[in-house]
Amino acid sequence: MYQVIENKKRIKVLQETFINALEKRADEIRYPILGHQGGSWQEKVSYLKKYNIWCRGYKEENRFWNGFGIGEPLNEVNANITCEINFPFEGINRRIAGVFAEDAYGNEFVLHRGKIGGGRKGIGKSSFQEKYRGKIITAIDGDRESEFALVGDLNSKNLVQQVCSFVKEVYRIKEEEDHETTTFSFSEEFFGAKTVKGREESIANCYHGIIVNSLAAILESRGLKIGKDKNRDLFTYKQGEIKNIFEIKPDLGNSSLYSAVGQLIIYSIGTSANLFIVMPKGITRAVKKKLETIGIGIIEFEWNGDQPEFFGLEKVKE
C-alpha cells in the first residue's frame, strides 16, 4: 500500500528533486506568456526538446506549483498550460492534485488525484480515471484511502520520461473530450481480492502508461480504432464491436501473469474478441502453449532505449 507523505521538510526536498530532475534535462530556456484564471504573465520555462514539453516550477502562496505544456514555447507568445502537478507544502490538501507518496519498501513516487479539467465541463476525476492509460493505484490519504494516477518513480533515471508521458496523457484525454467518441459501458463489480505488490512490481508500474501509449500508437498507425476503459488497458474496435483486448503488464512476475489471465477472461465476457497479454520478453514456451489452449496470445516487448519494441503484433487482427 502507498502512503501519502505529509511531512513539510520532506515534501520540500522531494519537490526540489522533482523539478531539478526535469530542469536539468532542458535544452533551452524560454520566456513565453503563461496564464490561468488568475491572469497572465511572462515566465521563464525549461524546454525539453526531445519530448517537446516545457515545464516551470516555483512556490505559490500555499503550494509548489509545477506547470507543463506541450509544444515549443516562444518568447513573449502565449503558451497553453496542459496540466499542473502541484504539491501542498505540508499535510493533506485534496484541492491540490499532486502528492508525493511512498510504498512499504521506501520507494518514493509522484501521484496525481486526476483533477485535470480546470473547471472545464466533462473533464472530472471519474472521466480522467476511465480514460487514463497509466496505472491507477490506491494510497492512504490522511484519514481515508483514495485513488491516484501513478505518475512516476521519483528516484528513477527515467522519471523525466514518466512525467512527460503523463503530461501527454492529460493532453490526449482533454483532446478526446473535445470530440465525439465511441463509449463502452461495463459493470463496476469487483472480482477477486487485491494483492500486495512487491518492490519491483511497484516500480515497474510507472512504465505502464508508456507501454500502453506506445502500443496504441502502433495500432492506430495501422488504421485500427483504439479504446480504453476502467477494466481494460487497451482494445481495438470496429463498428461498435470489440475485436482485440490487451492486458499490459510491465513485469514478468507470476502474480502479474495470473492477474492478466483473470482480467482478460472476466472482461471479455459477452464479446468474441481476441485476447492478448503484453509482457516483457522471457515467458517460457510451455507457458505460452498453455495460454494458447485457453485462447490467450502473447505479445512480448523489450526496451530499445526509452521506448518498448513489440514482438508478435502480426497476431492482431482487424
**Beta bridge partner(s), residue 30:** 45
| pLDDT for res 204 | 84
Q: Where are the alpha helices (DSSP H) in the chain?
A: 8-23, 125-131, 159-177, 199-204, 208-221, 254-266, 285-293
Provide φ and ψ at 273, rounded to 5°: -70, 155
Domain boundaries, the chain: 1-180, 205-318
- Biggest alpha carbon–alpha carbon distance for the chain: 62
Residue with cell 495501422: 222
- The set of cell numbers assigned to 8 is 513539510
Provide φ and ψ at 198, rounded to 5°: -80, 175
| pLDDT for res 194 | 38
Q: Going by C-beta distance under 8 Å and a sequence separation of 6 or more, which residues neighbour residue 100?
A: 4, 5, 10, 11, 14, 15, 18, 87, 108, 109, 110, 111, 154
Write the burial class of residue 148 (CB in 10 Å: 0-12 exposed, 13-18 middle, 19+ buried). Answer: buried
| pLDDT for res 126 | 74
HSE, side-chain direction, 13 A CA sphere, residue 51: 28
Coil, strand or helix at 209:
helix
Q: Output the tens digit of pLDDT for each of the chain's 318 residues.
A: 899 999 999 999 999 999 999 999 999 999 999 987 667 899 999 999 999 999 999 999 999 999 999 999 999 999 999 999 999 999 999 999 999 999 999 999 999 999 887 555 556 677 788 889 899 999 999 999 999 999 999 999 999 999 999 999 999 988 876 554 445 433 333 333 334 356 677 788 889 999 999 999 999 999 999 998 888 999 999 988 999 999 999 998 888 899 999 999 999 999 999 999 999 999 999 999 999 999 999 999 999 988 999 999 999 988
State the CATH architecture for 205-318: 3-Layer(aba) Sandwich (3.40)
| pLDDT for res 120 | 58
Amino acid in position 269: I
CA dihedral sign, ordered 100, 154, 147, 3: negative
What pTM was estimated for this model as a whole?
Answer: 0.78
Query: Which 8-state DSSP code applies to residue 280?
Result: E
CA distance 135 to 166: 10
